[in-house]
Amino acid sequence: MPDSIALDSTRLQRLQQIPLWDFALAFYAKPGVEAACLTLQDEAGLDVCEVLFHCWLYSCGLEAVSTAVSAVRKERLHWQARVTDVLRALRRDLTSSAASNEAVAALRKTIKQAELMAERENLQRWQIWALEVKIDEKCVTNIVEKPSNVAEWLEKKLNHGEKAFQFTGSSNTPSASLQALQTLVRQLDPHQGAR
């Protein structure tokens, strides 16, 4: 295995020192990130946990190996569909009733906490997968060359290497999805950590 491809121990150590959940909380709190993630979720159908996972890797100078991530993506999407999305739908359905009923408001708050716990579990499973040592397959690798267009790089990672949503709208203006990706990229520190 060539040295440029060998997983850099400094990058891997950094990944181990910054739990994905901690990264996600800090990153999500940055200006515009929450709105960007929700745009990618609601308008592009992307999984916010996977978005945060790829941002976490990128912040350490790493990326998921595309062929390896496809199987775990199916597992994580299954979790999202069967657990998180169900809780999110319940929480959203109770929004109007909660405004006028304290008991429903308390129930909605409990469901919101359960939804957050489901997201945390999903992120922990992404992290475990990334840090697993497999003899026959690598999960993550160094980003050998910093991408010239990080938004496009992230979009490809999230859409299995294919473009699934448009970068420009009908009048050649950036789509909401592209604007959301660009917001995330602006908040990632490209000079942070080993590259």
Structural domain contains residue 195: no
Count of domains forming the chain: 1
What are the pLDDT digits (tens) for 33-61? 999 999 999 888 889 999 999 999 998 88
* Residue 2, domain member (yes or no): no
Judge contact between 19 and 123, C-beta under 8 A. Answer: no
**pLDDT-wise least confident of 41-50, 68-77, 121-130, 135-144:** 135-144
Distances (CA, A) of 65 to 47, 92, 114, 175: 18, 35, 31, 27
Find residue 142's DSSP bridge partners.
62
Residue pair 50/158 in contact (Cβ under 8 Å)? The answer is yes
Asked if residue 192 belongs to a domain, the reply is no
∠ Cα 36 37 42 (to 5°): 100
Looking at the domain assignment, is residue 49 inside a domain?
Answer: yes
pLDDT of 168? 47
The candidate with the shortest Cα–Cα distance to 163, out of 172, 175, 171, 173, is 175
Report if residue 193 sits inside a domain.
no
- 180 in a domain, yes or no? yes
User: Would residue 37 count as lying in a domain?
Assistant: yes
For 166, the domain range is 9-187
pLDDT tops 70 at residue 179: yes
Burial-class residue 54 by CB neighbours within 10 Å (0-12, 13-18, 19+). buried
Instruction: Give the tens place of pLDDT for each residue, 139-166.
Output: 888 887 777 778 788 888 887 655 555 5
Mean pLDDT of the region 21-26 = 96
Q: What is the mean pLDDT of the chain?
A: 84
pLDDT of the residue at 170: 52
Tell me the C-alpha to C-alpha distance, in Å, between residue 164 and each of 43, 71, 81, 167.
Answer: 11, 19, 20, 10
4 in a structural domain: no
pLDDT band at 3 (very low <50, low <70, confident <90, very high): very low
pLDDT recorded at residue 37:
94
Residue 129: per-residue pLDDT:
92
Q: What is the pLDDT of residue 16?
A: 85
**Mean pLDDT on 179-189:** 86
Give the per-residue pLDDT at 1: 35
pLDDT band at 101 (very low <50, low <70, confident <90, very high): very high
pLDDT of residue 11: 81
Q: How many CB atoms lie within 10 A of CB 56?
A: 24
Task: Please provide residue 191's backbone torsions phi and psi, each rounded to the nearest 5 degrees.
Answer: -100, 0
